[in-house]
Structure 1
Amino acid sequence: MDRILNTRSTMYSSSLSDTDLRDALEKLFKEKKLKFIGKFKSLYEFEAYDTWTYITWYVPNMRRQMAYLKGKIIKSEKGSILNLNLKPNPVIAIFPILLISIGIIISLIALFQNEISIFGMVLIAVGIVFYLFGVFLKNRLERNFQKHLDLQKM
């Protein structure tokens, strides 16, 4: 299911202690010229999101950023571990599923009538492009986040 909704959980190790890593993250979140914005939700849990938005106007209870990251700092013997959950915007994750499903249904209906549905194939292609766009956005946020911290993938 995570693969379909384009979510990923990743663990990174850091040589910093859990408090030092928390301080480094707080300092990083206060910088204004980064490609992501973040904040702590509790002592060792935080959220970050991409600065790109797909809707510029305010819509109540709607997530507008392109990708989201939830993280948790875990204390370890050699420093600390950072557990990250990355996902694109829910609209960008669900839209490809809907487009591909509708495209397949339209194509199957046309196939049973011995015809070819260009519209169905276009919907499938657009759905695939949107899925790949979600992968790009999720990876962009992870790379930008990882670039500013000394993290090694586990």
Structure 2
Amino acid sequence: MYRIGQGIDFHQMVEGREFWLGGVLIPHTKGALGHSDADVLLHAICDAMLGALSLGDIGKHFPDTDQSFKNIDSKILLERCFTLIAERGYCVVNVDSTILLQAPKIMKYADDMRETIAKILHITTDDISIKATTTEQMSFIGREEGIVATANLLLRKVG
């Protein structure tokens, strides 16, 4: 049995925050603003996993009203979402993701992101696609006010 999930996450980009994306710290003058480390890519993958099994969304499992999640490393959130699907007898087959941001250019970090994600999800880097695009300076993304990530994934029932 297979299940498909789709996730999306948005965060503001602000001065004075570290910029975490795909579990990798990327040098930049701005970082994503959020209750956790605001890693939009990992959050989108979490939502895709949870959605595939009708388990709600990341906000249900890790609410921003809970101080235990304040500034949490999103790799921990991804690990916990992976545990939730594994407990239900599923594994990840593949992930396809897109990041929408004007700056910085992030594709030189894509292999590191893929390695980080693959390790957590117990798949290979060949099973993870990371793409990036700008909005040609249009909208809040083009003005470098925010970042968006989308993720689609396929789960397979084990056994």
TM-score (norm 2): 0.24
Higher relative contact order (CA 8 A, sep 6+): 2
**Which has the larger share of strand?**
2
User: Which has the larger share of helix?
Assistant: 1
- TM-score scaled to structure 1, two decimals? 0.25
The structure that has the greater radius of gyration is 1
